[in-house]
Amino acid sequence: MASAWFGPCPHCNRALSYLEGAAGANMTPKCPSCQMVVTVQRATFLMADHSRPSTQPKPTTAKRP
């Protein structure tokens, strides 16, 4: 049974999606941003979370009408 939650990377604080029980999940997932292993309680697949605002500065590619 897969479940997902959102949280920051403990190393680089980047917003991540923690997908528990997803395909490719394992007990030592690596942060897609800093490539450090993140300690988890369940097999987890880490994905950069682009859907939520983070501490990163806004992209400079602003859309123009």
Which residues form the interface with Zn ion (CB under 5 A)?
Answer: 9, 11-12, 31, 33-34
Smallest distance from the beta carbon of 12 to Zn ion, in angstroms? 3
Smallest distance from the beta carbon of 50 to Zn ion, in angstroms? 15
**Does residue 2 contact residue 22 with C-beta atoms inside 8 Å?**
yes
Residue 62 neighbours by CB distance under 10 Å:
6
Closer of 29 and 61 to Zn ion (Cβ): 29
* CA 6 and chain centroid, separation: 7
Closer of 27 and 34 to Zn ion (Cβ): 34
Q: Compute φ and ψ for 44, nearest 5 degrees.
A: -135, 145
Smallest distance from the beta carbon of 21 to Zn ion, in angstroms? 21
